[in-house]
Structure 1
């Protein structure tokens, strides 16, 4: 995962470490030229605070942090990604401004999500989908729409994919699941009580699971066996969960396409066969 995104999305830092984090995000180009002592002075903290932040982020030390930041700055600049971009829809925006802002929000959401994808995790998840006798997909509210899209895609290529709209039926499906099942759980916040309860039931039933959540630390990702993350830059104007929906659908498309690519000829034939004119 990107170290800059990981820093931005950590909402539970002590105040002193939060001050260091904010300075890093605002002035990353300056930070890579500083020592830990100098950064501590500029943030009215200390070198020890800088080191503690690095340890909390599972980074070897401040020099390693600067190296990672330097690499990411170049990538973000090449993709025109603003790590602190706060584009939001305002009441005074005209139609053209709304169109342009939504384009920015969705484009950056997809770009960030692509950065967050761990290819090794992705490979393992796709293999588990391939091996599972039944693929279960769970999601409540707007996340159900994502689960429904994934269900239809995998059903078209011959996978026994199951998704229920009502929570009580999802709950029963989890209770009846066996290790022959594999489950995808969608929850942008990762704090949906329903999804957390279902994840725990699946864990108790020895069913392998993958969560698709925002990149911030969350309860659902701690329960699931695998985690795939989407951008945590949801617009303040959250009509229909705009950027989170776009990012989550992007992850579904990646999973589906990689799955199809493993058996390209067979899945291509099934897609052609199930096409509805």
Structure 2
């Protein structure tokens, strides 16, 4: 990795060693940290970090983070180098493909687990759990993940809304109400589409707080508008076979959020889940009848 290769050749000052120690221990967190937060974490000045980056031959802190993120997009497994964008090589066989995706999934899970912000997770869960209505938004691949979360909330009796057709959710009329508590969840990988801009604008106009889940390193200004922002590390580029690592990371984060929501009102959610399951069983005889000969529609 770049950190290990470059830092070993430098004569570091005590201040620079503090910076190195933090980056080596938290490389994936660093690529999502603004300069002022890294300065606080390392207990050094922002100027010291900038000087250090230039000592490495970078233009500045932003340039350093780009190069670090590029390095993190490749990881080693069983002596093999796996790239998250193009993990499968030409003429790969079944066992090789299965092993590659196994390691890719495990790496994504570990990275996300290690960087979980538990306080933010609790705040997001409380905001959504106490709402009378939860509006959920996603687009493209993010929509698929959001729909799964939407279905989980419905199963435990929460009033969750989500428009499956692109464009329909932009036509939804959101209105604030003193009698109805509303909250929203936005799942957006890159957080840079006009669609997200429109949704955020509508939510803010209606004074509806929202949770933002994103893999974007820079989600400004949406992360400043969100009540809570939950991030996953994005080591993938636009040129990729598929969103394998980020999909795993996002799914894991959403499952953690759902688990937190479920635990806040455990007995009620458990009872609602049992009721949902029982209704499924009670209706099963309709399906059995339709399978018999001579049945009528």
Instruction: Please report the TM-score for the alignment, with normalisation by the length of structure 2.
Output: 0.66
1:197 counterpart residue number: 198
In structure 1, which of residues 239, 251, 254 is the aligned counterpart of residue 253 of structure 2? Answer: 251
Write the distance in 1 (CA, Å) between the matches of 2:150 and 2:131. Answer: 14
Superposed displacement of residue 36, structure 1: 6.6
In structure 2, what is the equivalent of residue 60 of structure 1? 39
Q: How far, CA to CA, are the matches of 2:40 and 2:255 in structure 1?
A: 36
Q: Which region of structure 1 is more displaced relative to structure 2, 258-267 or 88-97?
A: 88-97
Change (3 A) 1:149 1:33: farther
By how many angstroms is 1:198 displaced? 0.6
Give the corresponding residue for 1:209: 210
Distance 1:55 1:163 in 2: 33
Partner of 2:138: 139
Pairing partner for 1:234 from 236, 251, 255: 236
Aligned length: 225
Higher mean displacement: 139-148 or 115-124: 115-124
Please report the TM-score for the alignment, with normalisation by the length of structure 1. 0.70
Match of 1:225 among 224, 227, 230: 227
Query: Is residue 24 of structure 1 aligned with residue 3 of structure 2?
Result: yes
C-alpha distance after superposition, 1:58-107 (max 9, x if no partner): 23379647xxxxxxxxxxxxxxxx94523422223222221111112111
Deviating more after overlay: 175-184 vs 157-166:
175-184
Residue of 256, 268, 271 corresponding to 1:269: 271
5+ unaligned residues in a row in structure 1: which ranges?
1-21, 40-52, 66-81
Unaligned runs of 5+ in 2: 18-30, 45-70, 76-82, 282-297
Q: Secondary structure at the match of 2:39?
A: coil
Q: CA RMSD in A?
A: 3.1
| CA distance 1:235–1:217, change in 2 (3 Å) | closer
Secondary structure at the aligned position of 1:272 is classed as helix
